[in-house]
Copies of this chain bind each other. A is one copy, B any other.
Amino acid sequence: MSRDRWAVVLVSGGLDSCVCVAEAARTHALALLHVNYGQRTEARELHAFTAIADHYAAAQRLVVDVDHLARIGGSSLTDSTLRIEQGLPDRSAGVPSTYVPFRNAHLLSIGVSWAEVLGAEALFIGAVQEDSSGYPDCTTEFYDAYQAVVDAGTRPQTRIAVRTPLIDLDKPAIVRRSIALDAPLHLTWSCYLREDIACGRCESCRLRLRGFAGAGQDDPIPYAED
């Protein structure tokens, strides 16, 4: 594998994005992109991003700070006066409070601009449609539509493929895939609430723990005692 072509990979620092990096590393040179957008665990996620980037010796890295998503608000991830749901997501209750309105469109636009300037041929994002929180910007329909925007809105000679290798996997399958690819899950951070030790109760922790349990594996990160 020559890996002489770049891929931009969006890396939050969580389980899914770490596996996504592992997928991209099989075929591409890595340009890793992290966005701080005022989420509660911003500092811990950046720490995880850096550790994952170091693990893969990523030659290109870009960390972007945006403050407008938190200023616009409307999400419990960026507004500490709103309550984050506990436990596994209840899809019948609609989109959860942790939805950051249209967030992934922001992340993709930054990734596409960087990819166009680098001449990268792919943009990876670790979005998961099933076995997830039910965010509208984590659906196949959304990424298919975004591909058409990328094709129309960049230079005629630019070709950037939007890649979502985890979109149809459930969490146990993602954990199994991480083991097959030797992804460094001990470096990741998924908790929505805490930065010192994962809470084990928020929907992100619960989805993660269910994934490890379903795969028959131990999660390598510690959790707070109940």
How many monomers of this chain does the complex have? Answer: 2
How far is B94's CA from A73's CA once the two chains are assembled, in angstroms? 39
Contact in complex: B152, A142 (CB < 8 Å) = yes
Q: Is the CB of A105 within 8 A of B101?
A: no
Determine if B104 and A106 form an interchain contact, defined as CB atoms under 8 angstroms apart. no
Contact assessment for A101 and B72 in the assembled complex, using a CB-CB cutoff below 8 Å: no
| Given contact pairs A152-B145, A155-B95, A101 touches B73 in the complex (Cβ within 8 A) | no
Secondary structure of the A contact surface, majority rule: helix
Q: Name the B residues within 8 Å of A156 (CB-CB).
A: 94-95, 136
| A66 CB contacts on chain B under 8 angstroms | 66, 68
A116 within 8 A of B: yes
Q: Closest residue to A148 on the B side, CB-wise?
A: B145
A226 within 8 A of B: no
Would B74 and A102 count as touching, CB distance under 8 A? no
A97 to B55, CA, bound (A): 37
* Interface segment out of the listed A17-25, A107-115, A169-177: A107-115
Q: Does A103 contact B (CB under 8 A)?
A: yes
Is A154 interfacial (CB-CB < 8 Å)?
yes
Contact B114 A72 (CB under 8 A): yes
A64 within 8 A of B: yes
A146: Cβ under 8 A from any B Cβ = yes
For the complex, give the distance between the alpha carbons of A103 and B153 in Å: 9
A102, B109: Cβ atoms closer than 8 Å:
yes
* Cβ of A38 to closest chain B Cβ, rounded Å: 12
Q: How far is the CB of A94 from chain B (nearest CB, A)?
A: 8
In the assembled complex, the CB of A98 is this many whole angstroms from the nearest CB of chain B, namely 13
